[in-house]
Chain A
Amino acid sequence: MNYRHKIGCSLENLKGIRDFVRKSLRTHVASEVVLNEIILALDEMCSNLMIHAHHCNPDHFLEIKIDVPRKGKLVFEIIDDGEMFDINKFSEPSLDNLVHEKRKGGLGIRLVKSIMDDVEYLTRNGRFVCRLSKEVK
């Protein structure tokens, strides 16, 4: 099954993204903890894109696509006309550094990489696509 959602790049819309992911997956993912992890990873990816690639401009849009196959991994795509924000190119700060520098950011990338099996980037029809996948038993 496929689910789609389009949303403006305002941080106020993160709640809408979480509601969309929850609603789409509630019959497919039994564990509340796993469902929350997936919601968290999508929230982190979208907030990173909104802040770093779109500077929270609500007139810019992200499209989120969820593919739930009968077998195999769940696939999530964030489709974006803006600048690519490749988390694989960012080094993960150590927790010690985050504490010492009193940084409030940098944890999101660690979360996404811990939760998802794969994070890859591609272009399709001139648009950037960030594809995340996760095996759910």
Chain B
Amino acid sequence: MVHIKRLQEEGADILAIVGEIDASSSIELDLAIAKSVGEGFKKILVDCSALEYISSAGLGVFMSYIEEFRDKKIVMVLYGMKEKVNNTFQILGLADLLQIRPTKQEAKKLLNELSA
């Protein structure tokens, strides 16, 4: 139901989410982020361009890393969301707590600014 591809670019770990994240599949997102953190990445980009759906279980995974990232000085930026997916983040006001940008280019720019 969800597939998360990983690739590295200019020192950043890119997690590309393909498919749908719900209560049955949110563990995949959790494991992918945990792996990235475990491997010591300080810059994480989340490519949401092929993310078709996210429920609160997936949103909760992103939320659960906010403090750990702050403590470990890890920066994560999400990008490429479809309007319907972005709306789910907006309903809860999560756009204020997470870093979200429309394009990969803007996400990389923010990632570098915040990591400097």
CB within 8 Å of B: which residues of A?
11-12, 14-15, 18, 32-33, 35-37, 39-40, 43-44, 47, 50-51, 95, 98-100, 102-108, 110-111, 114-115
Considering only residues 63-102 of chain B, those with a C-beta below 8 Å from chain A are 63-64, 66-68, 83-85, 87-88, 91-94, 97
Known contacts: A103-B60, A111-B91, A114-B92. The answer to whether A36 contacts B53 by CB under 8 A is yes
Q: Which residues of A contact B94 (CB under 8 A)?
A: 95
A18–B60 alpha-carbon span in the complex (Å): 20
Cβ 8 A contact of B87, one of A36, A50, A100, A102? A36
A47–B61 alpha-carbon span in the complex (Å): 16
Q: At the interface, is chain B mostly helix, strand, loop or mixed?
A: helix
Count the A-B residue pairs with Cβ separation under 8 angstroms: how many?
A: 92
Write 28 A-B pairs (CB below 8 A) sorted by A numbering.
A11-B22, A11-B23, A12-B24, A15-B1, A15-B20, A15-B22, A18-B22, A18-B53, A32-B83, A33-B83, A33-B87, A36-B85, A36-B88, A40-B88, A47-B57, A95-B92, A95-B94, A95-B97, A98-B60, A99-B67, A99-B97, A103-B63, A104-B30, A106-B56, A107-B59, A107-B63, A107-B92, A111-B56
Q: At the interface, is chain A mostly helix, strand, loop or mixed?
A: helix
A37–B53 alpha-carbon span in the complex (Å): 10
- B70 to chain A: closest CB distance in Å? 9
Q: Are A104 and B67 in contact (CB under 8 A)?
A: no
A43–B87 alpha-carbon span in the complex (Å): 16
Known: A15-B22, A111-B56. 12 other contacts (CB 8 A): A11-B22, A33-B87, A35-B84, A36-B88, A47-B57, A99-B63, A99-B66, A99-B97, A104-B30, A105-B56, A106-B60, A115-B91
